[in-house]
Structure 1
Amino acid sequence: MACDHTFTLDAHKLQRRYLQLQRALHPDNFGQKSVTEQEFSESQSALVNKAYTTLLKPLSRGLYMLELQGMRIEEGTDSGADTEFLLELMEINEAVDEAQTPEEANKIGQDTKGKLADLTERIDAALREAELQTARALLAQMKYHANIEEKVKEKLREFM
């Protein structure tokens, strides 16, 4: 995808490269080619899609970067999350559930975006310093906040 191997990246540059690769590899361009070329196009186009979606979002990008270093964060294995953090998340989740207006949900969403932006900066710094355990712990927190962000989006759709 012609990206630097860093946590922060230029999303516009990533998108341009994605579109460039898809113009060249998309299966629609290979309808009159051999079966082998069509299959190659399909597999390579799928890989480009996967790479793009992985790199586009900070959480999946960070998890991928840790995986490249031999670390994985498995679902349900964040036993290291401290009680205070988990209580805070429970309160935020309850607030989302109890939000009566789009404004209330938006406020929670904006707070969550701020926390995600802060985590993004901290993860970037940890990865630049090769502090993989710190990056791993911060990415685990990011997973929780990303889930809250999705829950807020669902709540806002309910108001429509």
Structure 2
Amino acid sequence: MQGAITLRPQRLMSSVRARGPLSYSPSRPICLLCQQKQFTSNTLKLASQRQKVNPSSNPLTPDITNHYTIFPNTLPQGPPPNSSFSFDTSALRREFLQLQNAFHPDKFPQGPEKQRSEALSSRINDAYRTLIDPLSRAQYLLSHFHGIDVLAEDSAQTHPLDSETLMEVMDVQEAVEELSSAPVAEAEATVARLREENATRIEETVDKLHKAFDSGDIETAQRETVRLRFWYSLRDGLREWEHGHGAIRIVH
């Protein structure tokens, strides 16, 4: 037929490709069921995300009844005498870092969840700092579980230092005072020796605390805790000592 145009298959396919993919007509009806399914799916995803960032829903959330319950992996038996006064401090640090990583405030959005994480993180920090050190651990055990506050303002009267320890402290203070006029090298050697002697006192006192708490001997634990406070203060004074500055200051 004259004027008729014949489209070959190759040209037809090229024409389709040039136009791009077929699109749906705007007049095509929308599936409400599909929309509902998509909405439900998105809602569940959002709820799941919120659940993950909620500190109280985290399976690692510790029991904050006391400092010991916060670290169940390291201290599963709780405080002495159910467990030992001494424990693996490296294990405590690992568990502490794990908890801090899980509940660090920077991981939570502004609002109640962040506030809860801040409070929990502070609680974990306080428990770790208390338990990692023998003196603060002993003071906490006496105060929290036995009602004995060796840090009270009247502790010097209610929990006096025994005369033997007091004499040792005074002897060290006098020895340091005499170093003011001694040659620098001699003075430094003497202070180094005093530091070593005091480190031995601390080690021996911690061992006595260990035995006292483990056996439930709270009277001895109280006495050794007071002594340990003086040895700590003496340690700090010897660390800060400078030649020519006279006596060291003991805080108790």
Q: Given the alignment of the two structures, is residue 61 of structure 1 paired with residue 147 of structure 2, yes or no?
A: no
Deviates more, 1:138-147 or 1:79-88: 79-88
Q: Given the alignment of the two structures, is residue 86 of structure 1 paired with residue 166 of structure 2, yes or no?
A: yes
Aligned residues: 155
Q: Of residues 109, 115, 123 in structure 2, which corresponds to 1:47? A: 123
Q: Of residues 132, 135, 159 in structure 1, which corresponds to 2:218? A: 132
Deviates more, 1:100-109 or 1:11-20: 100-109
Partner of 1:119: 205
The offset of 1:90, in angstroms, is: 1.4
The offset of 1:26, in angstroms, is: 1.2
The offset of 1:102, in angstroms, is: 3.6
Q: Which has the higher helix share?
A: 1
Unaligned runs of at least 5 residues, structure 1: none
The offset of 1:53, in angstroms, is: 0.7
The separation in 2 between residues aligned to 1:34 and 1:81, in whole angstroms, is: 50
Partner of 2:147: 70
The separation in 1 between residues aligned to 2:193 and 2:106, in whole angstroms, is: 44
Deviates more, 1:90-99 or 1:8-17: 90-99
Deviations 1:99-134, CA, capped at 9 Å, x for gaps: 544432222111111111111111111111111011
The separation in 2 between residues aligned to 1:104 and 1:75, in whole angstroms, is: 34
Deviations 1:28-80, CA, capped at 9 Å, x for gaps: 222xx241111111111111111111001100001111122222212452343
The separation in 2 between residues aligned to 1:128 and 1:137, in whole angstroms, is: 15
The offset of 1:11, in angstroms, is: 0.7
TM (normalized to structure 2)? 0.57
Closer/same/farther in 2, CA of residues 85 and 26 from structure 1, 3 Å limit: same
Partner of 1:28: 106
TM (normalized to structure 1)? 0.87
Q: Given the alignment of the two structures, is residue 104 of structure 1 paired with residue 190 of structure 2, yes or no?
A: yes
- SS of 1:94 mapped into structure 2: helix
Deviates more, 1:70-79 or 1:81-90: 70-79
The offset of 1:94, in angstroms, is: 3.3
- Whether the 8 Å contact between 2:149 and 2:155 is mirrored in structure 1 is no
1:27 corresponds to which letter in structure 2? P
Deviates more, 1:90-99 or 1:102-111: 90-99
> Relative contact order (alpha carbons < 8 A, sep ≥ 6): 1 or 2 greater?
1
- Whether the 8 Å contact between 1:78 and 1:140 is mirrored in structure 2 is no
Partner of 1:144: 230
The separation in 1 between residues aligned to 2:162 and 2:139, in whole angstroms, is: 20
Closer/same/farther in 2, CA of residues 98 and 16 from structure 1, 3 Å limit: farther
- Whether the 8 Å contact between 1:7 and 1:65 is mirrored in structure 2 is no
1:87 corresponds to which letter in structure 2? M
The separation in 2 between residues aligned to 1:45 and 1:93, in whole angstroms, is: 41
Identity rate, percent: 28
Closer/same/farther in 2, CA of residues 98 and 29 from structure 1, 3 Å limit: farther
